[in-house]
């Protein structure tokens, strides 16, 4: 039995959730999102709480139960408060800046990298070495931050690269004579 799926999702003030068949829509001050729940789950809204239940007792239904509940909870949280991922550039000459809607990155290559964020994602550069990715869709925010990080992952010897602010880089010792 899913421990996550059993929990009801409390809808905060200022957020409205509507259920139309298998489609769940959440609308809040930051925007609007929708999610189509798998056929093996049913969703009900009662007393400002959304609950998800499996239709049958199969492994697939239990998997979809927990996943659907988490997706709906992330939607409700996202339209109430935006999700944010912070990245940090470590290395001599590594810098970032916004050029219009494009993120311009200098990461030690012979060329600069221009990254166009997907729709619904806002990228801000507070310092030349700090990037903030924010939006209401948790999956899009995480994917965008991972794509930016993938241009130059942190390496274990000097720690140079693009890393998450709270990420720990396991450092290795270099060669000795």
The residue among 90, 94, 108 whose CA lies nearest residue 169 is 90
What proportion of the chain, given as a percentage, has pLDDT over 90? 62
Tell me: the pLDDT tens digits for 139-172?
A: 999 999 999 999 999 999 998 999 999 989 899 9
Looking at residue 1, what is its pLDDT?
A: 62
The residue among 151, 174, 171, 153 whose CA lies nearest residue 163 is 153
pTM: 0.86
Q: Are 135 and 82 in contact (CB under 8 A)?
A: yes
Q: Distance between CA 166 and CA 149 in Å, rounded? A: 13
What proportion of the chain, given as a percentage, has pLDDT over 70? 99
User: Which CATH superfamily, name and number, covers 83-164?
Assistant: Ribosomal protein L6 (3.90.930.12)
Written out in words, the top-level CATH class of the domain with range 3-80 is alpha beta
Looking at residue 103, what is its pLDDT?
A: 94
- CATH topology match: 3-80 vs 83-164: yes
pLDDT surpassing 80 at residue 89: yes
Tell me: the pLDDT tens digits for 35-64?
A: 999 989 899 988 889 989 988 888 888 888
Buried b or exposed e, range 134-151, using 16+ CB within 10 angstroms: bbbbbebbeebbeebbee
Q: Are 54 and 41 in contact (CB under 8 A)?
A: yes
Looking at residue 58, what is its pLDDT?
A: 86
Q: Distance between CA 37 and CA 150 in Å, rounded? A: 31
- Residue that is written with structure tokens 């003030």 in the block: 13
pLDDT surpassing 90 at residue 2: no
Across 69-86, average pLDDT: 92
| Domain locations along the chain | 3-80, 83-164
Looking at residue 4, what is its pLDDT?
A: 81
Looking at residue 36, what is its pLDDT?
A: 93
Average pLDDT over the chain reads 91
């Amino acid at each position: 039995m899913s421990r996550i799926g059993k929990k009801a999702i409390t809808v905060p003030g200022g957020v409205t959730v509507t259920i139309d068949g298998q489609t769940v829509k959440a609308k809040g001050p930051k925007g609007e999102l929708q999610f189509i729940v798998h056929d093996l789950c049913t969703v009900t809204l009662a007393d400002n709480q959304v609950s998800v239940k499996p239709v049958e007792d199969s492994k697939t239904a239990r998997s979809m139960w927990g996943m659907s509940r988490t997706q709906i909870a992330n939607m409700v949280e996202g339209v109430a408060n935006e999700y944010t991922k912070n990245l940090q550039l470590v290395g001599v000459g590594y810098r970032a800046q916004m050029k219009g809607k494009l993120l311009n990155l200098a990461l030690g290559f012979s060329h600069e990298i221009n990254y166009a964020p997907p729709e619904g994602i806002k990228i801000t550069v507070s310092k030349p070495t700090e990037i903030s990715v924010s939006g209401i869709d948790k999956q899009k925010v995480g994917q965008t931050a991972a794509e930016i990080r993938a241009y130059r992952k942190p390496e274990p010897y000097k720690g140079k690269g693009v890393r998450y602010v709270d990420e720990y880089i396991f450092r290795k010792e270099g060669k000795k004579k």
